[in-house]
Chain A
Amino acid sequence: MGIRRRSGGFVLSVNPILCDGFGHCAELAPDLVHLDEWGYPIITTIPVPLSNLAALESARYAVRGCPRQALRIDRISDPS
């Protein structure tokens, strides 16, 4: 363990049953989340590299800031 190279990526995913369209996620992670015209999140499903620390941090803020606990960060391992 210890220092490990960050390989692979992550996807921010929303549980649509829980989500109530508060839209906090789009403010906290504007690069990952857009809102549709009802205020519900549209999140990119293309994995973001874990080395993109700014994106990862914004995703964590979004998870924490969601009033419905509807967001989750899924790790996608490198297909190597």
Chain B
Amino acid sequence: MIALTSPYLWYTTRATGMVAMVLFTIVVALGTLVANRIGGTIIGRFEINELHRSMSIVAIVFLAIHIATTVLDSYVPTGVISIFVPMTSIYKRVPVGVGAVALDLILAVWISSLLKVRIANTTWRFIHWFSWLGFATSIVHAFLTGTDSRKSWGLVLVVACSSVVFVAALWRYLGRPARAAGRTALSPLAAPPAPPSGGRTTATRLGSVPPPPPAAPRPSTGPFPRGPQRPSNKKGRR
């Protein structure tokens, strides 16, 4: 490999590492918004989804630069293998190794998403869970490895990013909407579905178990904001 020792490589490693960390924080937060079905009024849900997808590409570009400059910088002996295989770097063996674990997890998430149409949805979802682990390990990596991340603004940034994702994880767990069948059963409107109106199909009727009758009619507080144009298939109920 060409011997490159410019300190600018090191500066680039540090800067892009920080930027990648901030970007991945945003990506994880946006992903949580999608998963918890936020949006639909001020900003569309599909827009949050698109932001999540496109921001992840930007984050990966910064991550790629972060890693490329690390390896190119021959001032510190890391090596190409240590990008992917943990504990193979001579320089900062454990901290860089944690970074490699984070990268492997993030790569799995990324590649599985590229193959999303081809693989089973459950497989994709299982792998997408790695993004939490990947983020957590990358934060550990950032804290252990970083030149800037242990003092003043760098530390503030690391703490801020991990707090945001910690809150997102809590909220993802506590605030998650129930899955299809459960949500249907929990719906305050869980009366037997209206008879099929001509020329329309509903996924609910075809895809979930029939909900039990509700104890008492309650006002709708479902996770779904009522859209402006709602189908007029409520005839004959209530």
Contacts and interface: CB of A to CB of B under 8 A. Distances in A.
Interface of A: 13-14, 16-24, 26-28, 30, 34-46, 61, 65, 67-70
A22 B37 contact: yes
A17 B180 CA distance: 9
Contacts of A46: 199
B231 A42 contact: yes
A39 B230 contact: no
Would you list the 9 A-B pairs with minimal beta carbon distance, nearest first?
Answer: A16-B207, A16-B203, A39-B224, A24-B46, A16-B206, A34-B231, A40-B203, A40-B204, A65-B46
A43 B44 CA distance: 19
Contacts of B235: none
A19 B46 contact: no
Interface of B: 34, 37, 40, 44-46, 49-50, 116-117, 121, 179-180, 183-184, 187, 189, 199-208, 220, 222-224, 227, 229-231, 233-234
B46 A14 contact: no
A38 B222 CA distance: 8
A13 B208 CA distance: 17
Contact of B45 (A27, A42, A43, A70): A27
Contacts of A69: 116-117, 121
B19 to A, nearest CB: 27
